[in-house]
Chain A
Amino acid sequence: MATYEPVFSALGLKEWCESGAESASGPTSLADLIARNTGTDVPAPSIWELPFPSMDQLHEACPAFPQSRALTKGIENGFLDIKDGLSLVLDPLTQPLSWFLEGSLWVFEAIPWWIMIPVLLVIVMLVSRSRPLVVFVAVCLLGMAFIDYYSFAAQTLAVIFVCALLCVVLGVPIGIAMSRSDRLQRAIIPVLDMLQTLPAFVYLIPLIFLFSVTEPKLYGIAIILYAIVPVVRLTDLGIRLVDKDVIEAADAFGMTDRQKLVKVQIPLALPNIMAGVNQTIMMSLSMVVIASLVSAPGLGVLVLRGIRNLELGVGLVSGLGIVILAVILDRTTKLALARINAGQNQ
């Protein structure tokens, strides 16, 4: 006996309800089964046990009313319906991402370690200008190579390199556009909020439907969507925070908008933009681990193996490897940031 049946009767919808009785008979609920087996009727409900009039409850009272799983099913069907059209557009658009990732992975694998490690050290030196950091990075990389984790770490770096670069290439212009239009800012901020708060796994679900799991762009898109947020936000913020007096001076001396952007706004916003780049790199690293669920290569695969096969040692060591990569990337970009800050502190 369903609680809300009298409501439908009172509204004169009894016939409509019964018309749906045959067509929409969902699976029997556990409560129904128990009631049937014990042969006892459900006692008349007291007000304390009044269930919330949810879709399932209403369905029970009136079979023509849809169950809540019809909603999720509907969304799924809707997505599947537009999926073909969507992937027709998105596939060619995102194809370059696959090429970049494949290329980058190939480069990191093809270059032998005795070239790659020195090159990475030189890059760290140029960016950070800090000898102790270079020594630290050298020790870490050689240590990882020694325990046979170098190729996995190199794959992870290859993926982060491409994704973080694309985040900056796409994110900085979006941030600049946002800083120039309040309306655009109002439109984009909720999207950024959503991208930032959506659990990382949820990104993967629609992407799995859209693209084949074997394609690198699947995890590339997931990483970029997740990691692009800070660089966009901080570019926007950085440009908006540029001293109004300096902007006024630029106007007073007749700078065009373009000159103002290139000569004043971007250089003065650079500390904030770099802070965004640092965050973006760290977030790509965290996402590349999760993306190993959808075939992203690298240390994440080993973590996943540790979980799947209960290989405690592999899981812990590869987890530690990720921490080391994170420390290397963070220190290097932070030192670059500190150098920029030192250049313009007033």
Chain B
Amino acid sequence: MSARTDEPETKIGIRNLYKIFGPDPQRALKAVKDDGLGKPELLEQTGHVLGLQDINVDVKAGGITVIMGLSGSGKSTLIRHVNRLIDPTAGEIIYNGSDILRCGAEELRKIRREQMSMVFQKFALLPHRTVAENAAMALEVRGIARSEYIPEAEKWLDRVGLHGYGESYPHQLSGGMQQRVGIARALTSNAEIMLMDEAYSALDPLIRTDMQDLLLELQKELQKTILFITHDLDEALKLADHLVILKDGAIVQQDEPQTILLEPSDPYIVDFVSDINRARVLRVRTVMDRSTDTGDMSIAGEIDQEDNLESVIAMAEGDTRKTYLVKDGDRKVGVLRMETLIKSLVPTEASDDGDRVR
């Protein structure tokens, strides 16, 4: 995939990453690279498990990159490579121009302490410490004095909606609140990168929606580089600036979520997106006509290009004959006919040729 010019710089570049589990991964790697063995064949012939296969992802600065896949697709393995909780069998992870895999122990620890933070599926809070002490973990590890790190932690706890809970213990909080502590812990570290490993998968749906909104709200303000793992496509489409779909340890497709929805490149993804409420995910800018020439059309109103189609349908009260003027701020950028909108809601059939060349 070629980089578009208007996109921000790449913060983390994952290059040709392989991870093979088993007694002799290097030999198995040779078999995969030279003989082109797939996951089932490798397991049958050598007893090795192909965890990740030739992964290439650019994580852009200031955006949310979502990696989505079903359980066993290798997504949690992948995110653990970024801060090297797991070492790969082959490949590179370029961060700020240097390969994280070549870091010494001390350098790696420094990166983990100051530049990368992580939020976990099962919260992973320390049960014997208060909420504020948990939130301040990264600062404490760096050797900062308690009198400095507690106020800093309290500040971020306030920010995630846990004002006054600093003295409580994690077990006194509900699951959703515990994960807020997890997020506060990641934010308190003031790291530019946040790794979120199925951070919301253990929460019930309503709380999950709340937490997604919280993340988007924080992100608008803080502009962190976020790598988010999920098995939930709705969540992925809601949060992602860039969506990577993983299957059996290999990338099936990666692009902007709107594009994946409109042009799924693989029957696997078609299956996935068929259950999705397209009107809620697709945005006006994706389906509008990019001509600002309104001509003799009767304009029923103005809409923002980032609005989703659901809200437009609501505005038109279901009337398919209306046409709207699309604006980006004050600038006119196109027009949207309701007919076009309805057509875009028809699910896309998979192309016959699965590996579409881009």
Query: Is residue A54 within 8 Å, beta carbon to beta carbon, of the partner chain?
Result: no
Give the docked Cα–Cα distance between A181 and B83 (Å). 24
Interface residues on chain B, size class = 20 to 34
Query: Which A residue sits closest to B111, measured CB to CB?
Result: A254
Whether B120 lies near A249 (C-beta < 8 A) is yes
Residues of B within 8 A of A251 (CB): 85, 112
Give the docked Cα–Cα distance between A151 and B346 (Å). 92
Query: Is residue B301 within 8 Å, beta carbon to beta carbon, of the partner chain?
Result: no
Query: Is residue B137 within 8 Å, beta carbon to beta carbon, of the partner chain?
Result: yes
Name A248-306 residues within 8 Å CB distance of B. Answer: 248-249, 251-256, 259, 263-264, 267-268, 270
Q: How far is the CB of A214 from chain B (nearest CB, A)?
A: 47
Query: Is residue B127 within 8 Å, beta carbon to beta carbon, of the partner chain?
Result: yes
Query: Is residue A346 within 8 Å, beta carbon to beta carbon, of the partner chain?
Result: yes
Asked whether A346 and B127 contact (CB < 8 A) given A252-B83, A252-B85, A253-B137, the answer is yes
Which residue of B108, B111, B128 is within 8 Å of A267 (Cβ)? B128
Dominant secondary structure at the A interface: helix
Give the docked Cα–Cα distance between A268 and B126 (Å). 8
Query: Is residue B189 within 8 Å, beta carbon to beta carbon, of the partner chain?
Result: yes
Q: How far is the CB of A255 from chain B (nearest CB, A)?
A: 5
Query: Which B residue sits closest to A243, measured CB to CB?
Result: B124
When each residue 27-41 of chain A gets 1 if its CB lies under 8 Å from chain B and 0 otherwise, what string results?
Answer: 000000000000000
Query: Is residue B11 within 8 Å, beta carbon to beta carbon, of the partner chain?
Result: no
Q: How far is the CB of B126 from chain A (nearest CB, A)?
A: 6
Which residue of A256, A267, A346 is within 8 Å of B170 (Cβ)? A346
Dominant secondary structure at the B interface: mixed
Query: Is residue B171 within 8 Å, beta carbon to beta carbon, of the partner chain?
Result: yes
Q: How far is the CB of B53 from chain A (nearest CB, A)?
A: 24
Whether A253 lies near B128 (C-beta < 8 A) is no
Q: How far is the CB of A210 from chain B (nearest CB, A)?
A: 44
| Most chain A CB inside 10 Å of its own CB: which residue of B85, B110, B127 | B127
Q: How far is the CB of B142 from chain A (nearest CB, A)?
A: 8
Query: Is residue A72 within 8 Å, beta carbon to beta carbon, of the partner chain?
Result: no
Q: How far is the CB of A151 from chain B (nearest CB, A)?
A: 41
Whether B128 lies near A245 (C-beta < 8 A) is no
Give the docked Cα–Cα distance between A345 and B122 (Å). 16
Give the docked Cα–Cα distance between A264 and B134 (Å). 11
Query: Is residue B113 within 8 Å, beta carbon to beta carbon, of the partner chain?
Result: yes
Give the docked Cα–Cα distance between A264 and B111 (Å). 21
Which residue of A249, A252, A254, A268 is within 8 Å of B128 (Cβ)? A268
Residues of B within 8 A of A249 (CB): 118, 120, 124-125, 137
Which residue of A245, A246, A345 is within 8 Å of B171 (Cβ)? A345
Asked whether A254 and B127 contact (CB < 8 A) given A245-B120, A259-B141, the answer is no
| Most chain B CB inside 10 Å of its own CB: which residue of A245, A267, A268 | A245
Residues of A within 8 A of B125 (CB): 246, 249
Asked whether A248 and B120 contact (CB < 8 A) given A253-B113, A254-B110, A254-B113, the answer is yes
Name B114-132 residues within 8 Å CB distance of A. Answer: 114, 116-118, 120-128
Q: How far is the CB of A267 from chain B (nearest CB, A)?
A: 5
Give the docked Cα–Cα distance between A264 and B108 (Å). 20
Whether A248 lies near B85 (C-beta < 8 A) is yes
Whether A268 lies near B113 (C-beta < 8 A) is no
Whether A253 lies near B120 (C-beta < 8 A) is no
When each residue 177-209 of chain B gets 1 if its CB lies under 8 Å from chain A and 0 otherwise, what string results?
Answer: 000000001000100000100000000000000
Q: How far is the CB of A264 from chain B (nearest CB, A)?
A: 6
Whether B113 lies near A246 (C-beta < 8 A) is no
Query: Which A residue sits closest to B122, measured CB to CB?
Result: A245
Whether A256 lies near B124 (C-beta < 8 A) is no
Q: How far is the CB of A248 from chain B (nearest CB, A)?
A: 6
Whether A253 lies near B171 (C-beta < 8 A) is no
Give the docked Cα–Cα distance between A345 and B169 (Å). 10
Residues of A within 8 A of B109 (CB): 254, 256
Q: How far is the CB of A265 from chain B (nearest CB, A)?
A: 11
Name A167-217 residues within 8 Å CB distance of B. Answer: none
Query: Is residue A344 within 8 Å, beta carbon to beta carbon, of the partner chain?
Result: yes
Whether A264 lies near B85 (C-beta < 8 A) is no
Give the docked Cα–Cα distance between A264 and B169 (Å). 15
Q: How far is the CB of A246 from chain B (nearest CB, A)?
A: 5
Query: Is residue B287 within 8 Å, beta carbon to beta carbon, of the partner chain?
Result: no
Residues of B within 8 A of A245 (CB): 120-124
Query: Is residue B160 within 8 Å, beta carbon to beta carbon, of the partner chain?
Result: no
Give the docked Cα–Cα distance between A251 and B142 (Å). 13
Whether B112 lies near A246 (C-beta < 8 A) is no
Query: Which B residue sits closest to A249, measured CB to CB?
Result: B124
Name B39-87 residues within 8 Å CB distance of A. Answer: 83, 85
Residues of A within 8 A of B113 (CB): 253-254
Name A325-346 residues within 8 Å CB distance of B. Answer: 343-346
Give the docked Cα–Cα distance between A268 and B125 (Å). 11
Residues of B with Cβ closer than 8 Å to A?
83, 85, 108-114, 116-118, 120-128, 137-138, 141-142, 169-171, 185, 189, 195
Q: Which 3 A-B pairs have the closest CB atoms?
A: A254-B113, A254-B112, A249-B124
Listed A/B pairs (18) with beta-carbon separation below 8 Å:
A243-B124, A245-B120, A245-B124, A246-B124, A249-B120, A252-B116, A252-B195, A253-B117, A254-B110, A254-B114, A254-B142, A263-B126, A264-B126, A343-B128, A344-B127, A344-B128, A346-B170, A346-B171
